[in-house]
Amino acid sequence: MTTVAGIAQDMAARALTWLHANRHRGALGDGGIAGDPDAYKALTETALAACLVLRDGAAGSREAALARNLLDFCWDQLQEGALLYDRLLRHPLLTDALEGYAHFARAGYRHPGVERLIPHLAATGIVTLVEHVPNRRLAVANALRITGHGQALEAAHWETLARATWLGSTPAPWHIDWMTGYHLTHTVFHLTDWGARPDGLPEDVAAHLTRWLPVWIDIWTETCQFDLVGELLLVDSCLLRPHADPADWQCLAQRQHSDGLMPRDGNPVDDDPVIRFKGHQHTTIVAAVAGTVALTRALDRAGDGSGTGLLAPAHGDRPQ
């Protein structure tokens, strides 16, 4: 497979297979969210990868089934949303519960208590109420949009939120470091809702990315920062007109292990299964998400020539 669609499809399928096969290693400990915050974060990130597979409808039936099983597992670990409700009720300024809940809600998983809380939080101005870094405020805004409570966020509000970020000022491209790279990727993810709204980027920001994204991909590929490379390739897929260089995708795909694991960097991967999981789960999630969105955008462009929409979802709601 030498096309971006082919490479992306294979990468995402293998990554999803690995995440599913190793899902029980990510179970939440007895201490719940507070006692195991890393596992909690990983559960919501896994839910993100799975819900996008179902949202976009580009994967095969096998991958769709794996995604649904992963969502069921993650939802069960969070006590069918009860842990998210308790966290949001007791700590309304900890918006991670709202952000994580949005991934489940997108796939049809709902908790009545959380559903009652979200409108209240939206009315209090939760997007700007918390002293988050700018791209994190976009995450909260997108969570409200996904859950159906983003009506108050007008276009001008999104523009203000976008301009407050590093990327929103279209800075000199060499004024970037590793962490800023992640800030820019998440700015794009939330403005475009993970590739569903490529026109959500301001035109000058999109032009800035079109010009400099290939350079940044080259830099972090050369330094073997594969986690960030995966996120940057995902950013490219979120653009209205992706660069979609097969060579970039092939370079990352060649790093993926035969079992589907995607290493985070160029260092040797430990043989211990627990260390392997904890050290490389995030990058494998990135591979699943990047491959899913890239495949969808490629097929969408081939289907209607615009690249601005999504394929019809294969599974829009959770089976009752």
The tens digit of pLDDT for each residue in 191-208 reads 999 999 999 999 999 999
Residue type, 277: F
Cα–Cα distance measured from residue 316 to residue 314, given in angstroms and rounded to the nearest whole number: 6
* DSSP secondary structure code for residue 124 in this structure: T
Report the topology of domain 4-300. Glycosyltransferase (1.50.10)
The tens digit of pLDDT for each residue in 167-193 reads 999 999 999 999 999 999 999 999 999
C-beta neighbour count of 69 within 10 angstroms: 13
C-beta neighbour count of 320 within 10 angstroms: 4
Range 49-64 burial, b when 16+ CB lie within 10 A, else e: bbbbbbbbbbbeeebb
Q: What is the pLDDT of residue 11?
A: 98
Band (pLDDT 50/70/90 cuts) for residue 155 is confident
The tens digit of pLDDT for each residue in 245-279 reads 999 999 999 999 999 999 999 999 999 999 999 99
The tens digit of pLDDT for each residue in 274-293 reads 999 999 999 999 999 999 99
C-beta neighbour count of 316 within 10 angstroms: 12
Q: pTM for the full model?
A: 0.94
Which of 20-24, 181-185, 236-240, 315-319 shows the lowest mean pLDDT across its residues? 315-319
**DSSP-based three-state secondary structure for 164:** coil
Q: Is 318 exposed, middle or buried (0-12, 13-18, 19+ CB in 10 A)?
A: middle
The tens digit of pLDDT for each residue in 35-67 reads 999 999 999 999 999 999 999 999 899 999 999
315 in Cβ contact with 32 (< 8 Å): no
Rg over alpha carbons for the chain, rounded to the nearest Å, is: 18
